[in-house]
Amino acid sequence: MSKQIHLAAHFPGVNNTTVWSDPRSGSQIEFASFERLARTAERAKFDFFFLAEGLRLREQNGLIYDLDVVGRPDTFTVLAALAAVTDRLGLTGTINSTFNEPYEVARQFASLDQLSGGRAGWNVVTSWDAFTGENFRRGGFLRQDDRYTRAERFLRTAWELFDSWRDGDVVADRASGTFLSRPDAGAFAHRDAHFDIAGRFNVPRGPQGRPVILQAGDSDKGREFAAATADAIFSRHGTLEAGQAFYADVKGRLARYGRTREELLVLPAATFVLGDTDADAQERARVVRRQQVSGQTAIRHLEQLWNRDLSAYDPDGPLPEVDPVVGENTIAKGRASTRMFGDPLRTARQWRELAAANKLTIRELVIEVTARQTFIGSAATVAESINDLVQRDASDGFILVPHLVPDGLDEFADTVVPLLQQRGVFRAEYQGTTLREHLGLAHPDRRPAA
């Protein structure tokens, strides 16, 4: 039997794929934009809506990196507002375990689960840079190595809080005057090296028991954390080969924790450009790539590798002859890309060779070496590719990142989704009411304890 595909809509926000210069591009902050994208996702029967998190604006050369779309409203506020205008769509937010406290976060998710009727999802991230931490009272207080230890304790503490209430604790029996069925509802006491807390948790259990847990770290520790605790993993491995390798790796870790392969879904991020024909889509994709990599963006991107101010260079000219500055990146703070350049001198050499062989300018080179769209083609081609990747175990579905807000998902909803539904690999109607049900995950009370 074919696997069922899971789909989510990522509100693009601060992201290097977001095109803000297009005349059709709307606000990244006004509620109407969130509402529009969420309603489209729900109309298309998507599993969930997804918000990433950035706790500090990125900077480059000591200035705000204003070519990123600026602004990232608070996750819980946005998701709570969306709960009121949607009915079935899962509402998933990225919340950091390094800079928050378990009681506070558990309370926020329990509240969201209650008021959305069981649709809350939590993408637990740790963050890796001290730069982000400077915004908080403890600064970048945890070494990267310790962050997953804290994340694991954080999550298990939050679970204790969710589990301090059982279904049926609130009886509110008017005849007998009994409100709670047991006196110790909500009682908790937790002590470990990171958290020492005790008291009463003040939000009774939501319909899902615990929110759905997503995890997005890619390191060995991140993958292990996902295998031990998460219901789904958000990855950046969306192609067949890389996807299959990642899928096999994380699913292979589950048995160690007494879990089955179905208990952790693999959902890579994916971008897409559609067209009436494949050729038309390719042409549109070329235009989108040029919108995503403006001349200024190309220079800034090059600076992230070179670790130097390159503002005097012409984006339509050749690559710099000077070499990158090796060592701590002082130019581009808070950017994940700087972590990926393992050996800047070698990468610069490869880029120069590529540019020379194909006569590429700086801008053309950056377009070439930065991620292109995952799916490009007619609706039929894209539906086929998505299904193929899922059936061949490169993923269990995708978290789609449109490049335009608020209507960047419309064409996908109108043309690709019906084709997946016709094939019987994507739901035509929601079968359940909770996010857990959409994802085919058991209620925590009805599965073996981790």
Footprint on this chain of ligand FMN (rule: CB under 6 A) = 52-53, 94, 96, 125-128, 216-219, 221-222, 234-236, 269
Type of residue numbered 165 = W
**CA angle 45–48–52, rounded 5-degree value:** 145
Between 221 and 290, name the residue whose CB sits nearer to ligand FMN. 221
Between 14 and 442, name the residue whose CB sits nearer to ligand FMN. 14
Shortest Å distance, C-beta 232 to ligand FMN? 12
Shortest Å distance, C-beta 236 to ligand FMN? 4
CA distance linking residue 136 with residue 130, whole number of Å: 10
377: left (phi over 0), alpha (psi -120 to 50) or beta: left
Between 264 and 355, name the residue whose CB sits nearer to ligand FMN. 264
**Which residues are registered as beta bridge partners of 95?**
124
Between 351 and 398, name the residue whose CB sits nearer to ligand FMN. 398
Shortest Å distance, C-beta 31 to ligand FMN? 20
Shortest Å distance, C-beta 20 to ligand FMN? 18
Q: Residues annotated as binding site?
A: 94, 148, 219
Between 235 and 385, name the residue whose CB sits nearer to ligand FMN. 235
Shortest Å distance, C-beta 255 to ligand FMN? 21
Between 55 and 419, name the residue whose CB sits nearer to ligand FMN. 55
Shortest Å distance, C-beta 149 to ligand FMN? 13
Q: Is beta strand 397-400 parallel, antiparallel or unpaired with respect to 265-270?
A: parallel
Q: Residues annotated as binding site for FMN?
A: 94, 148, 219
